[in-house]
Amino acid sequence: MNTTTVNDTAGHHDHDHDHAPAGLMRWLTSTNHKDIGTLYLWFSLFMFFFAGALAMLIRAELFQPGLQYVQPAVFNQLTTMHGLIMIFGAIMPSLVGFANWQVPLMIGAPDMAFPRLNNWSFWLLPAAGTLLIATFFVPGGAISGGWTMYPPLYMQGGIAYDISILAVHILGVSSIMGAINIIVTILNMRAPGMTLMKMPLFVWTWLITAFLLVAVMPVLACAITMLLTDRNFGTHFFDAAGGGDPVMFQHVFWFFGHPEVYIMILPAFGIVSTILPTFARKPLFGYVSMVYAVASIAFLSFIVWAHHMFTTGMPLGGQLFFMYTTMLIAIPTGIKVFNWVATLWRGSISFETPMLFSLAFVILFTIGGFSGLVLALVPVDIQLQDTYYVVAHFHYVLFSGSAMAIMAGVYYWLPKWTGHMYDEKLGKLHFWLTAIAFNITFFPMHFLGLAGMPRRIPDYALQFADFNAIASVGGLLLGASQLLFLYIVVKCARGGAPAGDQPWEGADTLEWTLSSPPPYHSFVTPPLVK
Amino acid sequence: MQNVDEFLLHMWQNVAPLVILKSMGGINLSIPKYRDQRAGHSCWARTTSSLFALFARLVPALARADFALNLPTPASGLAQDIYDLHTLILWICFAIVLVVYLPMAIAILKHRKSADHQPAKFHDNLTVEIIWTVIPILILLGMAWPATKLVASMKDTSKSDLTIKVTGYQWKWEYEYLGDDIRFMSNSSTPKEQIDGEQPKGEHYLLEVDRPLVVPAGQKVRLVLTSSDVIHAWWVPAFGVKQDAIPGFIRDTWFKVDQPGTYRGQCAELCGVGHGFMPVVVEVVSPEKFAVWKQEQKALVAAAAANAGKTYQMAELQSLGEKVYTANCAACHQANGVGIPGAFPALSGSKIATGEVAGHIDIILNGKPPTAMAAFGKQLSDLDIAAVVTYERNKWDNKTGDLVQPADVAARRK
Amino acid sequence: MQTHTNNAYYVPPPSIWPLVGSIALLTLATGFALLLNKTAAGPYVMALGAGILLFMLFGWFGNVISESLAGKYAGQEDASFRWGMMWFIFSEVMFFAGFFGALFYVRNIGVPMLADAQSLWPGFAAAWPTAGPGLKTEIMPVHAWGIPALNTLILLTSGVTLTWAHWGLQKGKQSQLKLGLAMTIALGILFIGLQWYEYVVLDFTLRDGIFGATFFMLTGFHGFHVILGTVMLIVILFRSLAGHFKPERHFAFEAVAWYWHFVDVVWLLLFVFVYIL
């Protein structure tokens, strides 16, 4: 892919076949991958702020010991919904938004394979989002048993628990359809000459991610269907008295849940692997091994699920098996990190905002990887399971991993999407605020977890007070910094210096051969890739 | 930054202190005493611990309990092994961090466009790629070996001196000494006023109970765990023991603690609104004291049995009832009896608390599945239930004047 | 693999149906949640949602069929549909795999572990079928070599008749196509009828412990898929009568045939793991 060249760029710029209706109907009825991508991105940004606001309440309550602002029942709703909405409403949709925008552009296709289905995948999200947010206002409030929805605790709630199951079903339908669309687009609609091994790494990561989605979202549907029937139709899947087992839910859930973790990080790998070579002005190191590493991470993700369940008391053999497979993941992940560093080595690096976010990604994601390795070891995990160490770990992979890669990608492609340059000074300010506030918030959580603070508690013993106060200050700063992000994006969408077709001198993928913003149908005549 | 030397100087001055802080070693580690009692400690453990000791002296200002940076001081052999394993992994991670971050930092500082560095063209090197695949595999094997041995010993619950059954309830623990007729509930004893900020918080805020688990020092204690409602997790960090309690199933784990003292932990699995208020406290006492304690407990049981037929006065029942209510009911129904609309019903003015006494007793005895209203029949004595029923029927807006005796409760038990 | 043609890939014009579909599912889910929580409006809201969903399906598939007849799906689009259908069936495979996984888990891990917990469930012995240690129900499982075996035969035969119909279509023998389809549909309906009868005469329900739960969840979802497949076959029959399919191009027929064979294979697994073993 590093030698991708384009010899047919003529004829892309005629707009005579432009059928977009104006106004609201353009968005409601769109069959255009770029419009739908934009919808995904705005939706995820809204949900990011919504779930972020819940996090601000959590951190406010935890600023000092004692109960100050919210009662425990509400606190549990906040943590549960923060997790659920960040995962299903913010991270996943934004990555699908990237896929919608970038996959056709990067493989030289006119649009997605199923443009109408694509629109349905998106419009199911506001439906599910409405249901989820509405649960805050039903009697009893939103679900409060954690985003993992473990029974038997999940049996104890009111109507919000049924609504949330159905909302997650709808999200699942959306994800499966979206994933099938992406797979088919990649497999069937590449420009002539673009063999699989010439695809940009971002496209590769999404191909594998989409495969994971199709494979595991149905399993999630299966798990929550059993919850629904246990709650309402008298089945005993998770009730020992009837021969069921609550731990079985955890097995089925995490069979979905661990691949889900990679669903949220693999496209982020793809974004970073696109940005680093651009600003290092040097080809990505080890493209082939990157592809194999992503594929082996995906494969391993199917056989590590029970490492989320070491404290449930599995037999020795089970604990050892899942410990070994989990440790193995460090190898392909390590290869990726080494490749990124080798890409930077002897490059000609410049530090625009997307590059800053990507560099921070490599550094901070690696810390998250190390804490993951620590947690992979059963004895240490038993000590740290369900503590703030775990909270720190997954925020290092999900915030400084996925979310910061997403921000990097937004800055990187905003000029292409809008035709304008974003405000570089503000972008850098946003980066530094985010990176610093993030570490103030989450680094102390490692210490809290080691010292013995359980997660998901609204109040804590006095020895945890100092680090919690620091984390809360950092958290509020982190939240406030994201308002700057919103401002920068809106400002860039509304105007700014013209970006030109090719604003980054080191970029070599197909999207930069099109105008900024690209024409309505991306590649009407497929480019020829040598 | 003009050259590598300057960069290294910068790293030494600005980054090294951070690494030291991160290594957490020094701080609160204070070289766990337990180590001295065990023979045959591996070489790396001793090396790292002396390094930690060095750090501890270098940065005394950080050695405050409030900024505890590492696992708590181990009290059991298992916890010590976990501690050592964690330390080993941490050092390996630091080594890899250097290998990864150092070239990255050099590239960022030296190979930059503003320094007019011309980009190289290479994008593959099979040898290098094989090396950085194989070396991590070897490192992982080195980590897996001690971890495997430790997992095996953690799972080995055989040859225990004493078995205690631990049952999780929303939100308290029950301890039953199998073979001895001792069984009691262990409730959080932190006053609501402290939680709400109306009183200053005590030293063991949220980590104190009315009746701790008492175990003998130096003996292998096996716990068998289960739960009566949702999944809980029994956890004492200093023991290195965390085990989920799963309703309808039995799990077991073990610990052996040599040093008498009080050890504290918490429920570690989200179990509802009271999850943050479900402490575990273990008193480790000498075997002699433990024998005395067992005799006292048996005497208490006998005394309670002798009181079975007694009738009580209104004031007695009300004051006992308030205690039972605070420990068992207030988390959901609230201290003022108004509940949480939609989630937990109000008791003040409720049909059950002002209707027939029998119905009131029944719902407390049997609960209301599948809601969070648990069956308290096995958790509370007849006297406790009589007291709490009496209390609820005469508190807030409920002015029934009913007086319920333990015998009334006994009659409703099936 | 790439079937690049000179014609540009067909990108449909803006469409209202996806939005209608989302409104349908939102309404349906709201109604269902209300119904489950015994709110009077529940069934009506649900019915409204189902109505909107049907409306959407008619409208959307109507669009697709007319586009197909207008020859818009001649080139690369056809390959997209094939890939799409295959991955959809793969997602269905994973859905059933989840329930089969649950079945294997309780039989091999869950129930034996309950039997080990003698202090909680005195006297409970691991056996299959079981309704669990806390329910007093005796489970009389279905005899595999009665109706289930007959149903196996019916579904296998229906696979044969469907393939026979496909051969007819490929050779341009329209009457063989229609007859084969009609027979397949008849066999599908017969299967559903027998399964229904079996449900009625069974003396256990899905409330009867883990055996009832896994039995009804697996056979129930399978039965639902058979109903769906039969409805799809009926649509295909009508489209055959209208002369929509050509010997060289008939993706809709093939997609439904794949689906039907998938449902068939799931039944074989059910027959082995739910009824025989």
Please check the confidence at residue B129 and state whether its pLDDT lies above 80: yes
Q: Which of residues 335-364 of B touch A (CB under 8 A)?
A: 340-344
Q: Calculate the CA dihedral of residues B38, B42, B44, B48 and round it to 10 degrees.
A: 0
**Cβ–Cβ < 8 Å for A400, A361:** yes
**Which ipTM was obtained for this model?**
0.94
pLDDT digits (tens, 9 = 90+) for C138-185: 888 888 899 999 999 999 999 999 999 999 999 999 999 999 999 999
Residues of chain A with pLDDT under 50: 1-17
C189 backbone dihedrals φ, ψ, rounded to 5°: -65, -40
pLDDT digits (tens, 9 = 90+) for A35-81: 999 999 999 999 999 999 999 999 999 999 999 999 999 999 999 99
pLDDT digits (tens, 9 = 90+) for C239-265: 999 999 999 889 999 999 999 999 999
Is C114 within 8 Å of B248 when comparing Cβ atoms? yes
Mean local confidence (pLDDT), B312-332: 86
Question: Can you give the residue ranges of every domain in chain B?
Answer: 4-155, 162-190+202-306, 314-412
Does the CB of B123 have a partner CB in chain A at under 8 Å? Answer: yes
Mean local confidence (pLDDT), B367-372: 79
Q: Which of A59, A308, A395, A416 is catalytic?
A: A308
Residue B151 tokens read as 């997992």
Residue of A20 and B289 predicted with greater confidence: B289
Q: Which of A59, A82, A231, A446 is catalytic?
A: A82
Q: Which residues of B touch C121 (CB under 8 A)?
A: 248
Distance from CA of C129 to the nearest CA of B (A): 19
Catalytic: A260?
yes
Catalytic: A333?
yes
Question: Which residue type occupies A124?
Answer: L
Neighbouring chains to B with at least 3 Cβ pairs closer than 8 Å: A, C
Is B132 within 8 Å of A140 when comparing Cβ atoms? no
Q: Which of A25, A164, A166, A174 to mutate to test the interface with C (most CBs of C within 10 A)?
A: A166
Mean local confidence (pLDDT), B69-81: 93
Nearest CA in chain B to C134: B248
Is A111 within 8 Å of C11 when comparing Cβ atoms? yes
Q: Which residues of B touch A315 (CB under 8 A)?
A: 155
Q: Which residues of A touch B143 (CB under 8 A)?
A: 327, 373, 377
Q: Which of residues 27-46 of B touch A (CB under 8 A)?
A: 28
Is A247 within 8 Å of B246 when comparing Cβ atoms? yes
What domain range is A255 assigned to?
23-79+93-190+201-230+246-513
pLDDT for the residue numbered C7: 60
- The DSSP string of B203-253 is TTTTS-BSS-EEEETTSEEEEEEEESSS-EEEEEGGGTEEEEE-BT--EEE
Please check the confidence at residue B33 and state whether its pLDDT lies above 50: no
Residue A325: name the closest of A302, A342, A291, A343 by CA: A302
Q: Which residues lie closer than 8 Å to A352 by C-beta, 6 or more apart?
A: A279, A411, A424, A427, A504
Is B275 within 8 Å of A72 when comparing Cβ atoms? yes
Q: Which of A59, A231, A307, A420 is catalytic?
A: A307
Q: Which residues of C touch B250 (CB under 8 A)?
A: 116-117, 119-120
**Number of CB atoms found within 10 A of residue B84's CB:** 23
Residue B245: name the closest of B179, B158, B190, B164 by CA: B164
Q: Which residues of B touch C113 (CB under 8 A)?
A: 249
Question: Can you give the residue ranges of every domain in chain C?
Answer: 1-74, 75-276
- pLDDT-derived band at B58 (thresholds 50, 70, 90) equals very low
Instruction: Look over chain B and give the mean of its residue pLDDT values, rounded to a whole number.
Output: 84
Name the CATH architecture for the domain at C1-74. Orthogonal Bundle (1.10)
In a domain, A300, yes or no: yes
CATH number at A265 reads 1.20.210.10
Mean local confidence (pLDDT), B10-15: 47
pLDDT for the residue numbered A19: 57
Please check the confidence at residue B35 and state whether its pLDDT lies above 60: no
In a domain, A175, yes or no: yes
Catalytic: A511?
no
pLDDT for the residue numbered B47: 54
Mean local confidence (pLDDT), B264-270: 96
pLDDT for the residue numbered B350: 86
pLDDT for the residue numbered A120: 97
Is C101 within 8 Å of A252 when comparing Cβ atoms? yes
pLDDT for the residue numbered B375: 85
Q: Which of residues 258-297 of B touch A (CB under 8 A)?
A: 265-277
**Cβ–Cβ < 8 Å for A362, A272:** yes
pLDDT for the residue numbered A9: 39
Does the CB of B226 have a partner CB in chain C at under 8 Å? Answer: yes
Catalytic: A175?
yes
Q: Which residues of A touch B338 (CB under 8 A)?
A: none
Q: Which residues of A touch C135 (CB under 8 A)?
A: 236, 241-243
The reply to whether CATH 1.10.760.10 applies to domain B314-412 is yes
Mean local confidence (pLDDT), C6-23: 88
- pLDDT-derived band at C83 (thresholds 50, 70, 90) equals very high
Q: Which of residues 253-292 of A touch C (CB under 8 A)?
A: 255
**Cβ–Cβ < 8 Å for C20, C59:** yes
Question: Which residue type occupies C136?
Answer: K
Does the CB of A187 have a partner CB in chain C at under 8 Å? Answer: yes
CATH hierarchy code of domain B4-155: 1.10.287.90
Does the CB of C116 have a partner CB in chain B at under 8 Å? Answer: yes
**CA distances in angstroms from A42 to A48, A493, B329, listed in the order given:** 10, 12, 45
Measure the CA–CA gap between C29 and C7, rounded to whole angstroms.
Answer: 41
Annotation: CATH topology of C75-276: Four Helix Bundle (Hemerythrin (Met), subunit A) (1.20.120)
**Cβ–Cβ < 8 Å for A373, B82:** no
Residue of A302 and B301 predicted with greater confidence: A302
**Number of CB atoms found within 10 A of residue C219's CB:** 20
pLDDT for the residue numbered A20: 66
Nearest CA in chain C to A124: C22
CATH hierarchy code of domain B162-190+202-306: 2.60.40.420
Does the CB of B243 have a partner CB in chain A at under 8 Å? Answer: yes
